[in-house]
Amino acid sequence: MRKAVLKRIKITKTGKLLHKKAGQNHFNAKMSRRSQLRKKNLVGFSKTMEKNFRNYLTN
Model confidence over 4-35: pLDDT tens digits?
A: 877 888 989 998 999 998 888 888 889 999 99
What DSSP line would sit under the chain, residue for residue? --HHHHHH-EE-TTS-EEEEPS--SS--SSS-HHHHHHHHSEEEPPHHHHHHHHHHHH-
pLDDT surpasses 70 at 1: no
Q: What are the structural domains, with CATH classification, of the chain? A: 3-58 (4.10.410.60)
Contact 36, 27 (CB under 8 A): no
Query: pLDDT tens-digit profile of 37-57?
Result: 998 899 999 999 999 888 887
pTM for this model (two decimals) = 0.72
Note the pLDDT of residue 46.
Answer: 92
Contact 57, 49 (CB under 8 A): no
What amino acid occupies position 28? N
Note the pLDDT of residue 43.
Answer: 93
